[in-house]
């Protein structure tokens, strides 16, 4: 099999670290040209260098996904450099914890701004370019919390549910233009986001074990296991896949926990 993403020009938000970085590296390894967008400019440069040193093609696009002007500049810079973009991954996200009565107004607004408005702004800029490219694939990063109830993640869960609904609406709206739209809903992934959350708890080792125990295989997922699904959805192998929400959680969301005997 040749490289799966040869000829693709992709924009990946939140690609400076964690899962987004993993997706960027895998896309480049599969032949895609990659726009590495992140609010952290140094991280963007670092990932771009990692890709180019491995023989891939990438451009660093420091930008804040909540700012329309930033997003427009980033998308135009990408198109000027690599041609019409045809793959968008909106992965940038923030995850404050808290139940609804513990969530401040600013935190609520910030969570929706990065997770949901970021999707709106990137899609709004990318869709006209995808038309020029003759079609494309949009993949929004949701989460298992967008469908399943998890405690203490109210605002975050609401944003992820919104992304799943947004993807379904866009999948219908743009189908005739050859633009597919899907969401990926990972379970817990061994990532900086998880490490930060675990480190903040009273007993980090116990918390980490509790996360692993939620999964039928006894272990959370890896960044590469998530990136593989993004490669598939971005590729032409997924030409009849649109409006779908892929759970990437090792069966956690269909797991009815039994008491341990």
Ligand X SMILES: NC(=O)c1ccc[n+]([C@@H]2O[C@H](COP(=O)([O-])OP(=O)(O)OC[C@H]3O[C@@H](n4cnc5c(N)ncnc54)[C@H](O)[C@@H]3O)[C@@H](O)[C@H]2O)c1
Binding site for ligand X (CB under 6 A): 13-14, 16-20, 38-40, 43, 64-66, 91-95, 114, 141, 143, 186, 188-189, 191-194
164 contacts: CB under 8 Å, gap ≥ 6: 140, 142, 146, 147, 183, 185, 245
Q: Smallest distance, Å, CB 64 to ligand X? A: 5
Q: Smallest distance, Å, CB 163 to ligand X? A: 9
- Pairing status of strand 9-13 against strand 33-38: parallel
Instruction: CB nearer to ligand X: give 14 or 85.
Output: 14
Instruction: CB nearer to ligand X: give 40 or 73.
Output: 40
Please indicate whether residue 156 is annotated as part of the active site: yes
Phi and psi (nearest 5°) for 21?
Answer: -60, -45
The catalytically annotated residue of 156, 174, 215, 255 is 156
Q: For residues 200-213, b (16+ Cβ closer than 10 Å) or e, as one string? A: eeeeeeeebeebee
- In terms of C-beta density within 10 A (0-12 exposed, 13-18 middle, 19 or more buried), how is residue 1 classed? exposed
Distance in angstroms (rounded) separating the CA atoms of residues 8 and 15: 17
Q: Smallest distance, Å, CB 5 to ligand X? A: 20
Q: Smallest distance, Å, CB 16 to ligand X? A: 4
Q: Give the three-state DSSP class for 52.
A: helix
Instruction: CB nearer to ligand X: give 133 or 145.
Output: 145
Instruction: CB nearer to ligand X: give 58 or 95.
Output: 95
The DSSP call for residue 201 is S
Which residues does the annotation mark as catalytic? 156
């Amino acid at each position: 099999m040749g490289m799966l993403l040869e000829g693709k020009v992709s924009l990946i938000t939140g690609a400076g670290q964690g899962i987004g970085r993993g997706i960027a590296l895998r896309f480049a390894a599969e032949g895609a040209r990659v726009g590495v967008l992140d609010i952290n400019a140094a991280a963007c440069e670092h990932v771009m260098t990692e890709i180019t040193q491995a023989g891939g093609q990438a451009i660093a696009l420091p930008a804040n996904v909540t700012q329309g002007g930033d997003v427009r500049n980033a998308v135009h810079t990408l198109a000027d450099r690599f041609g019409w973009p045809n793959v968008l991954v909106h992965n940038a996200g923030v995850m404050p914890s808290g139940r609804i009565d513990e969530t401040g107004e600013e935190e609520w607004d910030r969570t929706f701004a990065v997770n949901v408005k970021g999707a709106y702004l990137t899609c709004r800029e990318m869709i006209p370019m995808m038309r020029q490219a003759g079609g494309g694939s949009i993949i929004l990063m949701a989460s298992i919390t967008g469908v399943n109830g998890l405690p203490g993640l109210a605002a975050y869960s609401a944003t992820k549910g919104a992304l799943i609904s947004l993807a379904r609406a866009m999948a219908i709206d743009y189908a005739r233009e050859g633009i597919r739209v899907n969401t990926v809903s990972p379970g817990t992934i061994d990532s900086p986001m998880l490490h930060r959350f675990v480190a903040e708890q009273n007993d980090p080792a116990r918390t980490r074990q509790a996360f692993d125990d939620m999964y039928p295989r006894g272990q959370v997922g890896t960044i590469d296991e998530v990136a593989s699904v993004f490669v598939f959805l971005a590729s032409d192998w997924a030409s009849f896949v649109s409006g779908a929400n892929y759970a990437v959680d090792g069966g956690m969301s269909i797991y009815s926990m039994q008491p341990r005997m």
